[in-house]
Structure 1
Amino acid sequence: MKIVVLGAGVIGVTSAWYLRQAGHEVTVIDRQPGPALETSFANAGEISPGYSSPWAAPGIPQKALRWLFMNHAPLIIRPNLDPKAVRWMWQMLMNCNNASYKRNKGRMVRVAEYSRDCLMALRQDIGIRYDERTKGTLEVFRTQKQIDGLAKDIQVLKDGGVPFELLDTDGCVAAEPGLAASRHKIVGGLRLPNDETGDCFKFTNALSAKAEAAGVVFRYGVDLRGLVCEGERIKAVQTADGDVEADLFVAALGSYTPAFLQPLGLDVPVYPVKGYSLTLSIIDQSRAPLSTVMDEAHKVAITRLGTRIRVGGMAEIAGFSKDLPEARLNTLKHVVEDLFGGAGDLNHPNLWSGLRPMTPDGTPIIGPTRFGNLWLNTGHGTLGWTMSCGSGKLLADLISGQTPDIETHDLSLKRYAA
């Protein structure tokens, strides 16, 4: 089939790669001048299937109220919210219960674990390089109360067969020696030895080059205007350069997917949740992280990317704003200096923000729509990098009529109709 993929972030590019490997004729269209120039550009860098958890969890409403008054809060809500934001937050609150959390986390871990396996296979098959490391992920806890609240997450890890290690303070420092100077601030940790790290921007650019060499056509700098319908099928995508016809279309536009598809009467429950990252050059190797360390108290990840440290986190409900308030810079600087003091060059920080496309239940939307030839691959939230390869492979298998390697019935848009 002739397939058009809308969006050249990590989700769009992995979709294009696997669709091409399945034998389809693929064109990718994006308004940016190259791949991975929006949300995929400078994310936290962690590939953490075991930490795939929905923001909608029991106790989150109470925590959110406390976070609003913290100096270095993991959640920021801007005033003057639009109705879409209010509706999305209400839907998320409806998922803040034990049953929904267990179901949603199970879905997310299933996709993320499969995606990690797909990434490993891809790396072996084509030798792609992206500052990757396979040294696991460590979540550190500053209070015993945080450790006591792990029961639900550990049960999901056990149910999914995900290896994990519960560590005391000494174990955390043994896994990440750079924490030695801050050991008095840590009471324990949860380590997932099979997790990985890597630069999503480097990966997406490298894979797009491989895809182009394999026959995928990339059209950059092209504004998308809308979709042309004929009955219950899509005939073409309207662009500033004219209409592009195809047999099938894949919307992988991240946070921009709902607005683009709204004229078709499709209600896609994805909302942009803004995140921030800080990139620092390493100036002291002995104090730097070896892999990813997640600070549970601040919901901030600190990741080693080659000779750099990437500090990423926070969730800000602010629509499509991409401004860079100094308060967010101060939070990221505080967390990295608090745990890995002296490791990175804080005199030359590189601050960035991106819009994570989040669903109310945390699970991505992968599958068909009521239009027979329009498919979705969006809504991955903070886990687009973690879930990218698996999502692309699942999409390609479903479109090609192949039986996917994992269950997919609860990943499509239909679950919201129920």
Structure 2
Amino acid sequence: MRVFVLGAGVIGTTAAWYLHKAGHDVTVLDRQGGAGRETSFANGGQISVSHAEPWANPSAPLKVLKWLGRADAPLLFHPRLDWRQWRWGLNFLLECLPSRTRHNIEQIVKLGTYSRASLQELRQEEQIRYDHLEKGILHFYTSQLEYDAAQAPAEVMRKFGCQLDMLTTEQVIAIEPALASARDKIVGGSMTEADESGDANAFTKELARLCAVNGVEFRYNTTILGLDRDGDRITGVRVRQEDGSYATLKADAYLVCLGAYSPMLVGEHGIDLDIYPAKGYSVTMPVKDPSKAHSVSLTDDEYKLVFSRLGDRLRIAGTAELNGYNLDLNKVRCDAIVKRTQDLFPGAGDPDQATFWTGLRPATPSNVPYIGKTKVKNLFLDTGHGTLGWTHACGSARAIADIISGRKPEVDFAFTGV
């Protein structure tokens, strides 16, 4: 079967790989000049099954109220005259109910563990290198309230297969000695030894290269304009090609992997995706003093930041800004990330050589992505992964390749049928 994958980020590229392995003729379309150039470009770099507690949880409403008006808040809500934003916000509040949070943790953990195993298998088979580290992910807490609140979600995660061990301050510092200078701030932590870190962009580019070597076609600089439909089937995708000409390209099946832009493409066909862009930030700086720099991938739960070591670079990423499709860098938020890094790891990195980046994470209110069929027979979804696109990429891709091939996926997950 001929399959078009719409989008060449980490989600689309991994989907192309597994679809090709399943025996399909695969073409990837993307408006950029190469793979992984938008949301997959400079993310936090974590394969973090342990990051399974969604933003929407019982403690979130009070936190959001507390953060209102703070330009450096971990979750910043810019009210707009946009009904999609307000609907998303209302549904976010509904997902904060304890029963919904528990359900969402279950989905996120199941997909995450399956995806992590799939990535490990792929890396072993193809010998892909992307500054990956297999040292686990260490969560640390600088608020006793946050640490206490983490106990119940951790128990739920363990129940569904994510081995997460709660730690004392001394145990946290024993795992990552670079945190010793912040000893007086840390009240405890947790460790998931099976989690990993690495450069998602390097992985995406290398996998795209391997895809192309094995026969997958990539059409870059190709802007997707819309989908043509006849009855219950898509008959073609309208594009503007690299030379400026317009064309309608035809395949047997179409897979939407367009992140935050997915709702606009499928909405005209009656498929309503509750995805809203959550702008995330990252800072990348060279290591200045290796003895002061962290080597274990870290999550700062209070500030909603992740710290990854990518070779001789430090990558610090996180926060979420709900402000439509705006990609402007907010200097206050960038400076806040640098300040937090310097407070925790003084002298570790060189802030004078820091580079800043922002990308639009495709966030659902529940943090659970859309993976599966739609009511249009040959149109499929692999989108809405929010902060966990890199974590869930391989598992999502493997599952959607099974679905498109008419097989039941191996992972027990709430697949869509919108």
TM-score (norm 2): 0.97
- Specify whether residues 70 and 185 from structure 1 end up closer, same or farther in structure 2 by C-alpha distance, changes over 3 A only: farther
Match of 1:258 among 252, 256, 263: 263
- Give % identity: 42
Aligned equivalents of 1:83 and 1:244: distance in 2? 33
AA of the residue aligned to 1:219: R
Matches within 5 A, 1:178-197: 178-197=178-197
| Structure 2, unpaired ranges of 5+ | 242-246
Query: Which residue pairs with 1:104 in the alignment?
Result: 104
Structure 1 residue ranges without an equivalent (≥5): none
Aligned-pair distance for 1:355?
0.2
- Which residue of the partner structure matches residue 46 of structure 1? 46
2:244: which partner in 1? none
How far is the alpha carbon of 1:15 from its aligned partner?
A: 0.3
The equivalent of 2:202 in structure 1 is 202
2:70, 2:331 → 1: CA distance? 16
SS at 1:250 equivalent: strand
CA separation of 1:68/1:413 partners in 2, compared to 1, >3 Å: closer, same or farther?
Answer: farther
Shift in Å at residue 170 of structure 1?
A: 1.2
Aligned ranges 1:340-351 → 2 under 5 Å:
340-351=345-356
Displacement of 1:72: 3.4
TM-score (norm 1): 0.97
CA positional deviation for 1:69: 4.5
Residue 141 of structure 1 is matched in structure 2 by 141
Q: Measure the CA separation in 2 of the matches of 1:334 and 1:379.
A: 30
Work out whether 1:287 is the aligned partner of 2:292.
yes
Q: How many Å separate the matches in 1 of 2:143 and 2:115? A: 32
Name the SS for the 2:248 alignment partner.
Answer: strand
Aligned-pair CA distance for 1:161: 2.5
Deviations 1:102-144 (A, max 9, x none): 0011101110110000000001100001010010111111122
For residues 310-352 of structure 1, the C-alpha deviation after alignment (integer angstroms, 9 at most, x for no partner) is 0101110100000012101111111111111111101111010
Instruction: Report if aligned partners of 2:9, 2:204 keep a CA contact under 8 Å in 1.
Output: yes
Q: For residues 298-377 of structure 1, what are the structure 2 equivalents within 5 Å?
A: 298-377=303-382
Maintained 8 Å contact 1:50/1:113: no
Residue 323 of structure 2 aligns with an amino acid whose one-letter code is A
Cα distance, 1:71 vs. partner? 6.4
Query: Is contact 2:71-2:333 (8 Å) kept?
Result: no
Determine the structure 1 residue equivalent to 2:176: 176
How far does the alpha carbon of each residue in 1:351-390 deviate from its partner, in whole angstroms, 9 at most, with x for none?
A: 1000000111110100010000000000000000000000
Report runs of 4+ in structure 1 exceeding 6 Å deviation. Answer: none
Structure 1 Cα separation of the partners of residues 80 and 101 of structure 2: 29
SS at match of 2:294: coil
Q: What is the alpha-carbon distance in structure 2 between the residues aligned to residue 392 and residue 114 of structure 1?
A: 11
Range with greater deviation from structure 2 (157-166 or 108-117): 157-166
Does residue 399 (structure 1) correspond to residue 418 (structure 2)? The answer is: no
Q: Does the residue aligned with 2:207 lie in a helix, a strand or coil?
A: helix
Kindly provide the amino acid, as one letter, of the partner of residue 287 in structure 2.
Answer: I
- In structure 2, what is the Cα distance between the partners aligned to 1:302 and 1:151? 22
- Work out the CA distance in 2 between the residues paired with 1:371 and 1:347: 51
Report the more deviating stretch, 161-170 or 388-397. 161-170
Using the TM superposition, name which of 73-82 and 21-30 deviates more.
Answer: 73-82
Judge conservation of contact 1:358–1:379 (CA < 8 Å) in 2. yes
For residues 186 and 259 of structure 1, the distance between their equivalents in structure 2, rounded to whole angstroms, comes to 44
Residue 411 of structure 1, CA deviation? 2.5
Deviation at 1:68, TM superposition (A): 2.0
Match of 2:254 among 232, 249, 262: 249
* Structure 1 equivalent of residue 217 of structure 2: 217
CA distance in 2 between partners of 1:350 and 1:173 (Å): 28
Partner of 1:411: 415
**Structure 1 residues 59 and 413, CA gap change in structure 2 (3 angstroms):** farther
Checking the alignment, whether the CA contact within 8 Å between 2:105 and 2:157 is kept in structure 1 is no
* Partners of 2:154 and 2:376 in 1: CA distance: 40
The more displaced of 273-282 and 78-87 is: 78-87
Matched, 1:77 2:77: yes
- Equivalent residue pairs, number: 413
